[in-house]
Structure 1
Amino acid sequence: MTDAPRILITGAGSGIGAAIARRIATPGMRLFLHTGTNAEGLRTVAKEVSARGAEVATELGDLSDPTVPGHLVQAARAAFGGLDQIVSNAGRAQRSSFGQLTDADLQTAFDMMPMAFFRLVDAALPDLRTSMQGRVVAVSSFVAHGFGTFLLSPGARHITGQVMHVDGGLLLA
């Protein structure tokens, strides 16, 4: 039995999520990799990290669907007997200006990123609270360039989870 953490990485089919998976893949590491629709990219990343000795499970799912974050946590538990860490990396941006952006576009982006983040952490709390390695990492990338003012606001810091620490409780700093 390994003491390596059991890690769920969203958005692992390409970009930052794939790079994180490749970087942390070591023998005994248990990685549950997710992507929305990039099945080929996810298969490639899974094959690469498996070749480095990591135990890998994968799942596709649209995080804007409110049932998917909980399903991913349950699937990670089924694959590895629990979950120690989350790397919340998945996201997408509707690159539109005011006047072009619709309510539906904004709602989908909100459901995909901060709400999915909340749902993932909420579903995983029993595991994270009891794990000696409980951690949550929230990643943001190009979205910050288009919506930097919002992402730097005090309220958004708490929504996007810039810093999260799990140690017998939950603290957003």
Structure 2
Amino acid sequence: MNQNRVAVVIGGSGGIGRAVARRLAADGMAVVVHYAGRAAPAEEVAASITAGGGTAVALPGDVAEPEEMTRLFDTVQERFGGVDAVINTAGIMLLTSIAEMDLDDFDRMHRVNVRGTFVVSQLAARRLCAGGALINFSTSVTRLQQPTYGGYAATKGAVEAMTLILARELRGRDVTVNAVAPGPTATPLFLDGKSEELIARIAGAAPLERLGTPEDIAEAVAFLTGPGGRWVNGQVLFSNGGIA
């Protein structure tokens, strides 16, 4: 199914993005590892895939800038002939109460999480081949209503809305559009600034009594991009160990 297929992993050098890129490469897909800032981590992911016998390339672009992302998709088209899967893991999380949140911080999250997802989704809608899949990223926090997550959850609520509507707008295209909503996952983004005690308490909240791993989330993505996920469309898949 995945032989000669091409996946673009937006935010492919981050914790979850890196795991997704490697997992899809293991399925035989050629992988474009997108990055927005430092090239080195993305190039390392691409090199590790290539060293394992796969095909990968690292490409840059600001997700909120349509010109830059159009250039990325044009490059993918030229190099590989098309795009079969777009996985948008890019996002930022800034936490404080709604009453205390700086609007500049809210705008930063909105620019990446909402505008960036919209730009990538728009391009994916125009470029994905028949049989393709777009997977955006939400969060289980949209259901948990945790204090200090209001601004972040608001951006991800917007991601869910546009994802579910786009799935209906692509009627007749044979393209699936879904969102994955991870729970607490052991990535640098999540672990940064948290005490071991707090991490243990959060891990214990799930019935499976552990944090998720980036590889857990990558398995959900692999399902949605593979043959077993073709009848799943316009859904939010919660990958959280039962925490919500």
* Cα pair distance change 1:14/1:107, threshold 3 Å: same
Q: Is the 8 A contact 2:113 2:155 kept in 1?
A: no
1:158 deviation in Å? 1.1
Partner of 1:158: 161
Q: Determine the C-alpha separation between the residues in 1 that align with 2:138 and 2:17.
A: 11
TM-score (norm: length of structure 1): 0.78
Structure exhibiting the larger radius of gyration computed from Cα positions: 2
- Give 2:71's aligned amino acid: H
Partner of 2:17: 17
CA RMSD across the alignment: 3.1
Structure 2: 5+ residue stretches without partners: 178-233, 236-244
1:105 deviation in Å? 2.2
Structure 1: 5+ residue stretches without partners: none
TM-score (norm: length of structure 2): 0.58
Identity %: 21
Give the alignment of 1:1-173 within 5 angstroms. Answer: 3-26=3-26, 28-128=28-128, 131-141=129-139, 146-147=149-150, 150=154, 157-159=160-162, 161=163, 165=167, 168-169=172-173, 172=234
Q: Is the 8 A contact 2:8 2:32 kept in 1?
A: yes
1:65 deviation in Å? 3.1
Q: Is the 8 A contact 1:27 1:54 kept in 2?
A: no
* Cα pair distance change 1:95/1:23, threshold 3 Å: same
SS of corresponding position for 1:67: helix
* Cα pair distance change 1:51/1:152, threshold 3 Å: closer
Tell me whether 42-51 or 20-29 shows the greater mean CA deviation: 20-29
Q: Is the 8 A contact 1:12 1:21 kept in 2?
A: yes
* Cα pair distance change 1:105/1:9, threshold 3 Å: same
* Cα pair distance change 1:142/1:105, threshold 3 Å: farther
Q: Determine the C-alpha separation between the residues in 1 that align with 2:67 and 2:104.
A: 19
Q: Determine the C-alpha separation between the residues in 1 that align with 2:141 and 2:62.
A: 18
Tell me whether 13-22 or 64-73 shows the greater mean CA deviation: 64-73
